[in-house]
Every structure is written in C-alpha cells, then in structure tokens.
Structure 1
C-alpha cells in the first residue's frame, strides 16, 4: 500500500511560459490529458521538471530551518494576525472533525499589498502586507522569492488544468489578476513514540482552494486517501518534484469532475520534517461557478461562491487564533 506508483508523475518540460515562448499545442494537450486523468482518479500527482530554480528552493528551505530554530517566544514576535500572516505555534490549527490540534508549527505569507491598496483600504479579508519577523530580516527575500517563483509555476500549471477540462488555456488568468496565493513554511517535530492514534502532524483534510503545490523534504510522512479502494497510501518525497493536489474550490468549479482528496501527515520518523505548501488560489471576488465549466442545472452540485469567501470560511473554522479574537 505504501507505493508512489499509484500517484502519477507528470513531466512539465516545455510548459513554462516566457516572454518569448509559450508551450506548443501538442505538449499542452499531452500535459492537460495527464492532469485530467490524475485529477479525476486520485486528485494528486507529482510535477517533475517544473522549472522553479533549485537555488530558490534551497534558499527557502534554509530560511525555514533557521526560522523554526528560534525559541517559540521569539517566533511569537511575528505571531499570526487577522490577515492570516505570520507564525502559528503548536496547537493553533485544528482540522475539521479532528479530535486534537495538528502537531506542527507554520509561518504564512500572502500577496504583499501596501496599506493604501484599494482592497486593503476597503477592508477585504486576508489582504495587506506580510508580517515579517524583525529578528530574521533574511526571511523576507528568501521566502518571497520562492512565493513569486512558485506562483509563476502555478499560473502555467493552470493553463494545463484548463486544457484538461476542455477550456481555453487562458480561462483562469482573468480570475487570478490579484491572486489569493498563500505560502506556508511548515515544521513538524517528531511525534512522540507513544502518540495517540488520533494525533497527526496534519489531521485528515482537504485543501480549501484550487490547487496546492507542495515542496517536501526527504523525511516523508504525507499520505493520501486513495479513492478507488478507500485506503491510505504514502506520497513519499521524489527529488526534483512538487506534489500537486486539487482543492475544494477546483472540485466545486469542475462540479466534482476533479477530486479534492483527503490527505494527512504523520511524522513517526523520529526526525524533524519541513515542507513549504503553496495554495494557489484566485482573486478574492472570483466567481466559482460550475456552469462556467459545463455543468447544467440538472447536474449542478454547487451554487456559485466567491473564492475568497469560501477560503475565509474554512480558515475561520480551523484556526484557533480566529476563534480567540472573534
């Protein structure tokens, strides 16, 4: 059961856009088909030859290791705020229906917007400047450099997703003009040897948004609920790849043609585990309407929803700091 072979590896060679180059139609169609197959069957795949420079990844990884090595009281100087930016300590996140909080720390950033940005001035939720730590100035260039690089990869990936859904490759671009991308550095301490069976690094959950791109170190611990036979399978690290999965918004948008699949993390390795998760999501007001992707009234499973409203609702449900400050 612990095989990655049931999670496909998709070669993204030739799919990155540049100022002078766009993917050729044959490559785009091939990758679109492979993504369609993966997302309708298991909802997960590995993305190889993704084009994000290894130096950018290495710099972000080292920044994560340095940040989480600080004492908790120091990290709390950049504690998460109501814009969902900053540090979350152990116990700050509890997935829906989980019995215990997740056994992890994480630091979240989003699109950097100044206080005088029109959406910030209007009070749009989750918008504004990031909450960078004053005790680690090198974190900002390292992590935001990764944020920009993985965001560009996400934009190209959505062209192939659109193609796989039978849409114009540019379908998602107009819905991402001011993206709600969130990137998190995550630290998983080793779980105690005698942990209860309901203690997880991250409890079983589905992601909130459209697509997630995950970099993980070589420790392992990510598991996916395989839909076909309803069992957990490992999604072990594969060097040079990201793990990509469908989130709830894309499942809604596709009227459940694409699967938003349960997954979890259990760190029983006895070692520290690090990952960087990016939730590549649309503009706050983007309308997620399954009818745009071909659903008719007879088969419609979901009513239209604003992307940001849905994401905000899920964050409010799972984050302890939002309940404390409500």
Structure 2
C-alpha cells in the first residue's frame, strides 16, 4: 500500500484468483484505510479497460442529447433513468447538485418475484430507444464492476476479522445501482454553496467510482478536517465506505464526507456504483462479532435503509415519484 494524494492505494492482484496471501494483504490494507479515512484507490481490480472505455464513451454520447430527448427516459419510481440537472439535493445542502445522471440497477422482469411482491427499486431498467448502444455498454460495465465489488467485499471481510465469504449470501439479488454522471463546467460566478455534488456520505455499503482525468472529487480528511483531492490515477477505481457498512461494522469502518467541484473548465464524467446487498438482507453489527451490549445500531433491512436515504435526497421522490 502506498499513499497518493493522501489516500491509500491498494493492489487487488491475486484476490479474485483466491490467493490467501493476496487476500490477507488486501484485507490488512483495507482495514487501515477504512478505519482511518474511509476512502482509498484500488488497482488491478479486474475490470477490463475496454469495458470502462466503452461505458465512458456511451456516457458522453448519452449526455450530449438534448434534454427533451433524454426526458423520454426520465427517472421513474424505481430510481431508474435520467435525472435532470437540479434533481438531487443532498441533506443540509442549500442548492441542488450541479450534475445530471443516469441510473440503472439489476435487470429484473416484471414477473420476477421481488417485483411482483412490490419490493422498492426493483424491476426492468429504462433503456433509451434513441441510443440502442447504451444498454450493452453500460450493462457490461455493471456486471464487471459487480465482480470487482464481490472481490472487494471478500477483502473487506478479512479486514473486519470475519470469514471472507460472509457478505456473499447477502448479495444473492444485489441492490447494486450504477450511475453515469455528467458535471458541466462549474459556473464562473457560482456561490460558495454551489457544488457538483454537495458534501455528503454515501448511503449504502461500498461505492466503486471510475472518474475521468478532470479532477474535482474531494474528501474530508478525518485527522485534519480539511478537504483533500482524490486525484485521478490511471487504471484505478476510487472506493469509499458507505453509511450502511459503517453501521454494519459498528463504526469500525468510517463513512467519510466527500464532494465534487468541477473546476476543470470542461465537462467531467464519472461512473459511480453503489454495491449494496439484497433488499431484505439484515444489517446487524452483532453478526460481525459485536456484542449486543456494545452495538450502536439495531438491525435494519438494507433496502429499507437505502430507500429512506434516496427518498430524502431526490426531488422527484419528494413530489410523489415519477412514473
């Protein structure tokens, strides 16, 4: 593990192949990073660069369409589709985020048992008929980043001192959400409380982010309470702990404030993946070896927790939800 821009850089080589020494090394590095900053980079993560490049190219093509065209796949009640500029207001923020994004999740047909049962956030994705190339490009990325997430959680488990396979049964029908994100250049005369994404912590378990070379992602360093840059590193993914994993670990792992300010002078693109458990998975610190008397949090269903956080931050849901 080395440090770059004050954030750890962790090599995942050998983890997917099941090398016990590699898993142990990654677990130790992740424990240190998650306990101290909650943010780190991973390299040799297994996501092919060709898949990343295709998804990023698709993002640029999609967001270049006029708003009236993108509106044909406007976000629906399942949190799938296009979110227009100004559609997200983070907690305690005074202005909506200066970004657009397109959300997708696990592709489930209308007759899937979870969909028929009315499980929130479940169902088919909204794929644009005006851009048929989006589905294969983003779908391939979704699957590959999901594999990287599963690898990562094995190392997270080792870092927490539990069995490497602990998380796998919790992800049988994962609530993974992947978002292409577009940030226009930051307005020259923007006020101090205008952000691409306002300071926040993520809702779920872990986030895996691919960012272009524009910069702009900043992390609130716990030791100094200052903002530091998560400088883009070629071939890396940025990983951070979400509130759900902080809760699960009884705050042994830290969920850290971060924000985006796109001061590059040009458009910024990223793809964020929130790699979260199946909706009904119970998140309980006691399952990770915490005594009930020392647990800071009662058990909660992963999906219920995430849905509440989405409802609190998305404008379309405050209005009763789009259809």
Which of 115, 119, 127 is the aligned partner of 1:132? Answer: 127
Q: Equivalent residue for 2:56?
A: 61
Q: Equivalent residue for 2:12?
A: 12
Q: How does 1:221-260 map to 2 (within 5 A)?
A: 221-260=216-255
Report the 3-state secondary structure (helix = DSSP H, G, I; strand = E; otherwise coil) of the residue aligned with 2:309: helix
Q: Equivalent residue for 1:86?
A: 81
Q: Equivalent residue for 1:173?
A: 168
Q: How does 1:87-106 map to 2 (within 5 A)?
A: 87-106=82-101
How many angstroms apart in 1 are the aligned matches of 2:292 and 2:282? 17
Q: TM-score, normalised by structure 1?
A: 0.97
**Structure 1 gap ranges (5+):** 17-21
Q: Equivalent residue for 1:19?
A: none
How many angstroms apart in 1 are the aligned matches of 2:5 and 2:81? 36
- Structure 1 residue 189 and structure 2 residue 158: aligned? no
How many angstroms apart in 1 are the aligned matches of 2:93 and 2:291? 35
Q: Equivalent residue for 1:145?
A: 140
**Structure 1 residue 131 displacement after superposition:** 0.7
Contact 1:104–1:186 under 8 Å retained in 2: yes
**Structure 1 residue 63 displacement after superposition:** 0.1
- Structure 1 residue 43 and structure 2 residue 38: aligned? yes
Any idea what the Cα deviations from partners look like across 1:165-187, whole Å, max 9, x if unmatched? 00100000000000000000000
- Structure 1 residue 314 and structure 2 residue 309: aligned? yes
Q: Structure 1 runs of 4+ off > 2 angstroms? A: none
Q: Identify the range of structure 1 (3-12 vs 71-80) with the bigger mean alpha-carbon deviation.
A: 3-12
Contact 1:4–1:234 under 8 Å retained in 2: no
Q: Equivalent residue for 1:30?
A: 25
Report the 3-state secondary structure (helix = DSSP H, G, I; strand = E; otherwise coil) of the residue aligned with 1:166: coil
Q: Equivalent residue for 1:218?
A: 213
**Structure 1 residue 67 displacement after superposition:** 0.1
Report the 3-state secondary structure (helix = DSSP H, G, I; strand = E; otherwise coil) of the residue aligned with 1:298: helix
**Structure 1 residue 97 displacement after superposition:** 0.5
**Structure 1 residue 26 displacement after superposition:** 1.2
Q: Equivalent residue for 2:270?
A: 275
Contact 1:216–1:237 under 8 Å retained in 2: yes
Report the 3-state secondary structure (helix = DSSP H, G, I; strand = E; otherwise coil) of the residue aligned with 2:287: helix
Contact 1:200–1:266 under 8 Å retained in 2: yes
**Structure 1 residue 51 displacement after superposition:** 1.2
Contact 1:41–1:259 under 8 Å retained in 2: yes
**Structure 1 residue 23 displacement after superposition:** 1.7
Report the 3-state secondary structure (helix = DSSP H, G, I; strand = E; otherwise coil) of the residue aligned with 2:294: coil
Q: TM-score, normalised by structure 2?
A: 0.97
Q: How many residues align?
A: 319
**Structure 2 gap ranges (5+):** none
How many angstroms apart in 1 are the aligned matches of 2:4 and 2:298? 35
